[in-house]
Amino acid sequence: MSSTTDKIKGLANEAAGNVKQSVGKVTGNERLQAEGKAQEVEGKTQRTVGEAKDGVKNAADKVKNSL
């Protein structure tokens, strides 16, 4: 997966997780709240992976350009 794809999917998972948590709180559904929190954390991790890929690519490009 590309860094952009990771970041976009990560943001989408974070948003969906937040919605699930909110719905779970409103309805008193603890399972839905937990699922939402897990999805939010998964999204943050995925977004971080995308950002790390960008960092590695940028570092590699700098090394390549300095040769």
pLDDT means per 10 residues in the chain (67 residues)?
A: 92 97 98 98 96 90 86
CA nearest 47: which of 17, 4, 7? Answer: 7
**How many angstroms separate the CA atoms of 26 and 12, rounded?**
21
For the entire predicted model, the pTM comes to 0.81
Any idea where the domains of the chain sit in the sequence? 3-66
pLDDT of residue 61: 86
